Structure 1
Amino acid sequence: MASDENDVVLSFNDSLIRKSDVILLDPPNWLNDKLIGFCFEYFEKERFNHSADKLCLINPDVTQFIKLAPTEELGPFLEPLNLPTKQYVFLAINDNNDATQVGGTHWSLLLYIRSRQEFRHYDSSSGSNKETAKKLAYKLQPHVHAPMGRMKFIEMDGPQQHNGYDCGVFVIATAEHLCREYCEGFSISLNDTVTADTMQEKRVKTRELIYKTAEEFGAIYPGS
């Protein structure tokens, strides 16, 4: 019997992945917040759990709230994340700036590095999300305890996509690479490991990771 697209493939901490989400890993689909959120949660809680005290990979839903919510509401909302204690804070940003609308058309990655007191923006379609990312950085500044007046925002010369649908995959791959670099001393450059040519492989590996995690954590999934 064919499984329904609403069937749950994986339940992992706060992530709930359905078959309809997994289907998005087939090109030319645009990855949604559920897939990016799972990868971020897996990196923090499993893949790089040896550095959990340093890392915070914020769920895209939370990032969207930070971006659109009134400033006065952010303090109590962000307090459980313990951002002032984290050395590296990752946020996946989309270009939807309308609180009444769902979705968007582009993802990029924002990283705060405490030791350098700077936000770095990695955009696989250079410049597309720059203004959105900069506004988010300054909105987040007091909540990561970045020094006023000295914080920097840098648009990075990162890997670039060659199509209109791989931006989310670039966000996942870039975040993973940077976690390896900062937490494990990985020394190969970002632009050598995250390229347009490796995105299809990353889609396949992300699908494999979802099913492997489902098996490991005893989640119920349809199996096809």
Structure 2
Amino acid sequence: MSSAVVLSYHDAVIRQSDIDILKTNSWLTDSIIGFYLQYLEKEVYMNNDFLFVSPEVTQCIKSSNNSEIPVFLDPLNPRQYLVIFFPLNNNENVYSSGGSHWSLLVYFRLENIFYHFDSSNDMNDLQATALATKLQRYFDKNSHLNLKEGNCLQQSNDYDCGIYLLCNVDNVAKVVVTHRKFNNIPRISKDDVKFKRASILSLIYRLQKKSINS
């Protein structure tokens, strides 16, 4: 039952096990995060200069040699986007999903600045620095890495890091679209986090109903 497919959405598949995760206080999986980022790309920010990189591709970049990174990024044509979002976790195994913490790395390409939004006392600092260093060499190997700490609300539990990640994605995207602002992005609110699981569940059911009726 837990493996039953609830929704197929572009390249994302949501199963009953993902629904169960969203209904409880559990760590978000790659599939949930990947689904939500695809939704933003396909339906919310279609005409904006945003690229939402999947958790799987981010993990491959993080775990690959510099010479291999174009294999993963070139098909995405990243140089045509102004803002690129990377969902980052601390999993060290490229061959499987896992890890214990999510955070968000955002690259503002024209400014050549990376911001790292970490909801748990910079737990992913080493991973963010390693990933940003590789990405800097890919985008502009002749310039120095400029990695800054994003203004990030801190989580009060050990399971909501993925929720904070998605709320931070929403927040950065909205601020950039509304104010064309790339620095001093304000923190998300506790209410953003509080209602996010229910919001994602509602979105899944709405898209499921739309798919059935189409």
Choose the corresponding residue for 2:103, options 95, 103, 108: 108
Residue 182 to residue 18, structure 1, CA distance change in 2 (3 Å): same
**Matching residue of 1:77:** 72
1:159–1:190 CA contact under 8 A, matched in 2? no
Choose the corresponding residue for 1:28, options 22, 25, 29: 25
| TM-superposed deviation, 1:107 | 0.1
| TM-superposed deviation, 1:158 | 1.1
What is the SS of the residue equivalent to 1:91?
strand
**Matching residue of 1:190:** 186
What is the SS of the residue equivalent to 1:25?
helix
What is the SS of the residue equivalent to 1:50?
coil
Task: Tell me how far apart the structure 1 counterparts of residues 96 and 177 of structure 2 sit (CA, whole Å).
Answer: 37
Residue 6 to residue 174, structure 1, CA distance change in 2 (3 Å): same
**Matching residue of 2:146:** 152
Choose the corresponding residue for 1:49, options 46, 51, 54: 46
Task: Tell me how far apart the structure 2 counterparts of residues 94 and 122 of structure 1 sit (CA, whole Å).
Answer: 12
Q: Deviations over 1:99-120 (max 9, x none)?
A: 3554011000000002321000
Normalised by the length of structure 1, the TM-score is 0.87
Q: Deviations over 1:127-179 (max 9, x none)?
A: 10011001101111233x23633430001231111111100000111101111
- Amino acid paired to 1:19: Q
Once superposed, what is the RMSD of the aligned Cα atoms?
Answer: 2.2
Q: Specify every segment of 5 or more residues in structure 1 that has no aligned partner in the other structure, as ranges.
A: none
Task: Tell me how far apart the structure 2 counterparts of residues 100 and 215 of structure 1 sit (CA, whole Å).
Answer: 34
Task: Tell me how far apart the structure 1 counterparts of residues 175 and 78 of structure 2 sit (CA, whole Å).
Answer: 20
How many pairs does the alignment contain? 212
- Amino acid paired to 1:38: F
Q: Does 1:39 align with 2:36?
A: yes
2:41–2:51 CA contact under 8 A, matched in 1? yes
Choose the corresponding residue for 1:178, options 172, 181, 184: 172
2:26–2:159 CA contact under 8 A, matched in 1? yes
| TM-superposed deviation, 1:195 | 3.1
1:92–1:171 CA contact under 8 A, matched in 2? yes
Residue 100 to residue 147, structure 1, CA distance change in 2 (3 Å): closer
- Structure 1 stretches of 4+ with a deviation exceeding 4 A read none
What is the SS of the residue equivalent to 2:154?
coil
Residue 142 to residue 206, structure 1, CA distance change in 2 (3 Å): same
Task: Tell me how far apart the structure 2 counterparts of residues 38 and 184 of structure 1 sit (CA, whole Å).
Answer: 24
Normalised by the length of structure 2, the TM-score is 0.91
Task: Tell me how far apart the structure 2 counterparts of residues 107 and 197 of structure 1 sit (CA, whole Å).
Answer: 19
1:117–1:147 CA contact under 8 A, matched in 2? no
Q: Percent identity?
A: 33
Q: Specify every segment of 5 or more residues in structure 2 that has no aligned partner in the other structure, as ranges.
A: none
- Higher RCO (CA 8 Å, separation ≥ 6 residues): 1
- Amino acid paired to 2:161: C
1:68–1:99 CA contact under 8 A, matched in 2? yes
